[in-house]
Structure formats: structure tokens, C-alpha cells
Structure 1
Amino acid sequence: MTAKATGHYTLKPDGLYLQFDRLFRAPIEEVWFSLTNPTAMQGWIGTYTGRPETGGVRFRMGFEGEEGEWQNVSILECAPPHRFLADSGPGPTGIRVFSHLREAGGMTTLTFGHRLPNPADAATMGPGWDYYLDRLMASHAGRPLPEWEQYYPALAEHYQELHVPEGARH
């Protein structure tokens, strides 16, 4: 698999997002399971502990190995199997992500976004999310996982050159 930069900017009422789309040949419930089940998540990004229905969990990225720090995640919205919105980390340095799923014709489209306080962050965040979302697709399909070295720094230039929409904070 050759890594491709797929992210683009979208401006939402709460800020500038780097947004990605992926298409799965699977029912929406299967894709939702891959995104939200702590065991399934281990195959592509990490895992969490706790009960999401309480509005919060503790999450740890798997890429960092056992040294990865547990992070508190606030679940702001969760509407299975269609969407979720979550925050991780404190204040302006915190991360906000969303996921929207749509199913049609036996295919499920995942739209994923990460809010960027600073557009310059796209040069590192973009390749990272392309990598993790490609891992999600490979894990879901039972294919070999991609290698990080194919993504960064190779895709950084694409994200450095993205046009920031009018009205976005700098």
C-alpha cells in the first residue's frame, strides 16, 4: 500500500478541522464496532478503560507502546452507530475529534475530523491521521498494517501547502 495524503480543511462553528474520509465495504455496525470497541481498537490505534456511557473514559495510544500515557477523554456526543464527538486533554492544548458514519448500498463512509487550534499543526497531525485511519481500514479488512515511515515526513508537505479557509483562526 502506498500512503496518500487525504485530509482537507473544513471550517465548523467551533473551529478549523482537518477532515478525512474512508469508505468501507461493510455495514455501519461493523465499522462502528472497529471505532469504539476497546479490543477492536487495539488492532489500529489503542484502547480505553471505563464505561463510555458515563461520559468519560481513559484512553492510551498503542503506537507509543507500554510507555504511552493514559489520557482522560470526555465523550461529548455519542449516537451509535452514526457519530461521536470527544475531547482529550486540557484547555487550548486539548484535542477534539469527531466521527460520522453513513451507510448506503452496502458501503459505509467514515468522516473523521480533528480540530486544529493552529493550521501549522496539520503538517504532523495530517500524516498521523492518514496513518491511523489506514491502519483502521487494514485492521478491519484483515490486511497487513501500514508502516509509519511511509507517512511521515513524506506526507507533511501536502499538509503544509493546504489552503486555510477564509475565516479560520491563525
Structure 2
Amino acid sequence: MNPRTEDANLEARRGTVTTEADGRRRLEFRRSWPDPIEDVWAALTEPDRLARWIGTYDGERRPGGSGTFTMTHEDEPVGEPMTVVECDPPRRLVVQWEQEQEGSGVWRVDLDLFAEGDRTVLRFVQVFAAGVDVTDHAMGWHWYLDKFDSEVSGRPVPGDWDSFAAEVGPAYGRAG
């Protein structure tokens, strides 16, 4: 792949941050695949597939259900209480969980799947408090969504975090 194509591909995969009217910071990613919506949903929610790209969820899989979510690909995986806010298969999943990192509070992630032409699109949205620097969060979710992409598409899994950060960091204003 030539450098210009690589740059365009990275830009298409990168999250965008906007500021809401109330000052909160909105992080959004859009990814798409030629696969049926049911297959993308399965990669997002089935326990075996979920474990390959992000981690495990042990709990009730229904709106209002709660359990423990562990991001097993972190340096120090920690199980955190999670609640399924909305679940409308195969179109919408909204979850929230308390972050163990000091000051991170409750995280809510909205995941929507929809058809756009002959592709299934995933829209990932997380909203942060006003004034929060979301750059590191955006890079982290970018890495996980690249891992999700490999689960859906069969493309190679992104490398370790340090290699990934060196590749995408400059696009987020971080040294490579």
C-alpha cells in the first residue's frame, strides 16, 4: 500500500471529536463492512467473538441486565460492573459501566448498526464531560475497533499497543 492510501485508510478509521452545545465532548467512529448486519451483530455480542476483540461479559444480556465486563486485552484487566441500557438486536446496543480509573466515572457507549447501500455500518459513540481530553480514549477505542474489524473481516489483528500507538499516534496529535 502506498503512503497516500495508508493515510486515507487511517483517516477513515480515525474517530472524530465534536463539542456538544453543553460543552460535553462527543467521540464517534464509523466503520463498515460488506457483511450482513447479523454477522456484524454476532461479532459485537457473541461471547466467543467478543473475547477475541475486547474482552468478556458475564451477566444478563437484556435491557436492564447487569454483569461484569472485563477488557481482557488491557495490561491489567479489571472486571467492572456493567449495565445493558438498551439492546435491540441486530441494530442497537447501549452499555454503561463504572471505570476503575480515578476520575473516569461512568462510561456509556452507544453502538448502532444500520445498512448503507450494500454495507453494514457501525456507529460507535461515547460522550465525555466538558473539558475532558479524549485523545487517549479515542486512540484506545480506535485500537479496539481495529481488533473488531479483524473479527468481522478476517483482516490481520493490529499489533501490540506500542506498535499501534506509533502508527496512529501522529494522526491524533501524539508523537509516534
* Structure 1, 144-153 or 80-89: larger mean CA deviation: 144-153
1:27–1:107 CA contact under 8 A, matched in 2: yes
- Alignment identity in percent? 32
Gaps of at least 5 residues in structure 1 are 162-170
2:81 is aligned to 72
Task: Find 2:33's aligned residue among 24, 33, 44.
Answer: 24
1:4 is aligned to 10
Pairs within 5 Å for 1:12-161 = 15-53=24-62, 55-64=65-74, 67-89=76-98, 93-147=105-159, 148-152=161-165, 154-159=167-172
State the one-letter code of the partner of 2:89: P
Distance of aligned partners of 1:131 and 1:13 in 2 relative to their CA distance in 1, 3 Å threshold:
same
CA distance in 1, matches of 2:137, 2:61: 25
1:45–1:132 CA contact under 8 A, matched in 2: yes
1:122–1:160 CA contact under 8 A, matched in 2: no
State the one-letter code of the partner of 1:152: A
State the one-letter code of the partner of 2:71: M
Greater relative contact order: 1 or 2 (C-alpha under 8 angstroms, separation 6 or more)?
1
CA distance in 1, matches of 2:74, 2:137: 15
CA distance in 1, matches of 2:97, 2:47: 16
TM-score scaled by structure 2? 0.77
CA distance in 2, matches of 1:47, 1:37: 10
Gaps of at least 5 residues in structure 2 are none
2:52 is paired with a residue of what secondary structure?
coil
TM-score scaled by structure 1? 0.80
Distance of aligned partners of 1:92 and 1:145 in 2 relative to their CA distance in 1, 3 Å threshold:
closer
1:92–1:117 CA contact under 8 A, matched in 2: no
Between the two proteins, the alignment pairs up a number of residues equal to: 160
State the one-letter code of the partner of 1:99: L
